[in-house]
Amino acid sequence: MTKKIAILQSNYIPWKGYFDMISSVDEFVLYDDMQYTKNDWRNRNTIKTKNGLQWLTIPVVTKGKFGQTIRETQISNNLWQIKHWKSICQNYRKSKYFDEITLLLEPLYIQEKYLTLSQCNRKFLEFIGDYLGIDTKISNSWDYDLVEGKSEKLVNICLQAGATEYVSGPAAKEYLDVNLFEDAGIKVTWFDYSGYPKYEQLWDGFAHNVSIVDLLFNQGVKS
């Protein structure tokens, strides 16, 4: 019996590669016990507009010089929801699947209220994942007992989850202690984000590293 697992911090409406990784594993752990980092993907992402890429940023409360974990990060107000939705509608109104994807996303922006960043990110991940037909189990890092050590913590989560293979993004090659995984009987594989095909986008040029919402509006069920 084999089981693939990936462990990654939650992101706001992340790009297609993030969802590709989720769909490639049996369990995806949202690693939100990690420290929240400013000006990162945790609370913001980009959409494509006629004037280039535009950032959509969730306002959050930051505390002191020692910061806080992603899990502890609170959203400072809900005004961003209407603002983000208006920006999305303005820039994707002419997309082929606008009406269909509006039915998916509009309730998340108009009806839902979010207190924490983790809660918000997970809600979007689950709804979009369901639309894409992804049935991977999504869990939280706090569902597991955590130990000290960057690589040790990951290995321990894998062992508790019954994983036989750990799928990691290539950026982790700089710090991940692969030997710890191998000693625990866990295979490490590096996820390959290359080779994604271009698709029909609005506006001139093509941008791969934009939010998944760009793919959804332009490709719908073909995403």
* pLDDT digits 0-9 by tens, 8-18: 999 999 999 99
Mean pLDDT of 55-71: 90
Residue % of the chain over a pLDDT of 70: 99
CA distance 223 to 107: 20
Rounded CA-CA distance 4/53 in Å is 34
Lowest mean pLDDT among 11-15, 56-60, 67-71, 208-212: 67-71
What is the model's pLDDT at position 63?
A: 85
What's the pLDDT score for residue 64? 73
Mean pLDDT, residues 37-44 taken together: 94
Summarize pLDDT for 170-195 with one digit per residue, the tens: 999 999 999 999 999 999 999 999 99
Residues 6 or more apart in contact with residue 67 via CB below 8 angstroms: 35, 36
Query: Is the Cβ–Cβ distance between 70 and 9 less than 8 Å?
Result: yes
Taking the C-alpha atoms of residue 160 and residue 49, their distance in angstroms, rounded to an integer, is: 44
Averaged confidence pLDDT in the chain: 96
Confidence band (pLDDT; 50, 70, 90) for 65?
low
Task: List, for residues 112-159, the tens digit of each pLDDT value.
Answer: 999 999 999 999 999 999 999 999 999 999 999 999 999 999 999 999
Q: pLDDT over 90 for what percent of the chain?
A: 96
Structure pTM? 0.96
Report the SS3 class of residue 46. Answer: strand
**In the prediction, which pLDDT does 180 show?**
97
